Amino acid sequence: MEIPFTQEEICDAIIDTIKENNLKGCYIRPITYRGYGELGVNPLNCPVNTTIAVWKWGAYIGEEEMEQGANIGISTWRKPAPGTFPVLAKAAANYMNSQLANLEAGEHGYDEAIQLDYHGHVAEGSGENIFIVENGKLITPDLGSSILKGITRDSVMTIAKDLGYEVSEETISRERLYLADEVFFTGSAAEVTPIRAIDNRQIDIGSRGPVTKELQEKYFDAVYGRSEDIHNWLTYVE
């Protein structure tokens, strides 16, 4: 789809929308989609529309879970294989797979789901990327594991490297989740959310670990402007 606006125009519109709604903190969702034209599998005769939504949104998985850690279950719904559709795209159609996993997790009493890829390796959460900590090293699934290349994932990797942590992208087997020293989610909504248990198996001490806590604090320092913006990440509304 050819987006009918420049990146600068969309950024300006986001800022204007936040101002117009007098929001001091919010989630931002710009979305480009095929609007009304005709019904059918071929969308090319439908116009390309862009909408920007902003709203107040607290901790995605829960305020308590941000400190104590979330209880997660491995989903039976796996991520799609290569050649099905582009999993690297942040496309609304891709989220049906995520919805199924998230609904299943809720039905089983979990806060959220972890999905495996078509090989049975760890992929991501229903709406989050995932990291494990082993012996002080951060490890996250590589792009071949049917994951979304998240912006928050990239930001946390950058922060970790700034702090001197070794960061690796690689294939992660399911059992490594259970044996990890720490596990946490990252995402625009989830931000940095620790995981205390997976499939009712306690992860190490069963609460937020020291590496996750440090990364969480540094991440919030960055997004709230409490630290120097050395990576030029911030856009000022006022």
Helix axes 151-162, 210-223, angle to 10 degrees: 110
What's the rounded Cα separation, in Å, for the pair 142 and 136?
19
Of 90, 137, 161, 213, the catalytic one is: 90
What's the rounded Cα separation, in Å, for the pair 190 and 60?
5
What's the rounded Cα separation, in Å, for the pair 49 and 36?
9
* Tokens linked to 160: 């970790």
Closest CA to 151 of 114, 191, 194: 191
Instruction: Provide the phi-psi class of 111: left if phi over 0, else alpha when psi is between -120 and 50, else beta.
Output: alpha
* Tokens linked to 22: 């007098």
Burial label for 28, CB within 10 Å (0-12, 13-18, 19+), is: middle
SS3 at position 161: helix
Annotated active-site residue 90? The verdict is yes
Question: What residues are annotated to the active site?
Answer: 90
